[in-house]
Structure 1
């Protein structure tokens, strides 16, 4: 599978608990952190759910 890089560009402060848990599940701990995942349907669904906080890099 192809890999995608995801960067957290907006803070999780004042977000719902569900969005915070999704960011944790993606592996984010700090702002501006970049994580790499396979582009599976589960990961893409999580990215779509909190896409307003992320930047996807190919």
Structure 2
């Protein structure tokens, strides 16, 4: 069973390319300072890596 990770949105998607906002929406991050708990999978890690400059990850 995969672990869980907490992801918090720290920077807004406003003014960013549409790709970044779609990735954030896919992660369930719609508002600033929103935190979601996600399953730690390679797919989720890849999405987080694409927006790593906008989020904070806690294991």
Q: TM-score, normalised by structure 1?
A: 0.96
Distance 1:30 1:37 in 2: 16
Residues 7-49 of structure 1: per-residue CA shift (max 9 Å, x gap): 0000111111000000000001110000011110100000000
Structure 1 unpaired stretches of 5+: none
Structure 2 unpaired stretches of 5+: none
Distance 2:8 2:37 in 1: 9
Partner of 1:4: 5
Partner of 2:29: 28
Larger relative helix fraction: 1
- Number of aligned residues: 58
| RMSD of Structure 2 on Structure 1 (CA) | 0.5
Superposed displacement of residue 55, structure 1: 0.2
Q: TM-score, normalised by structure 2?
A: 0.95
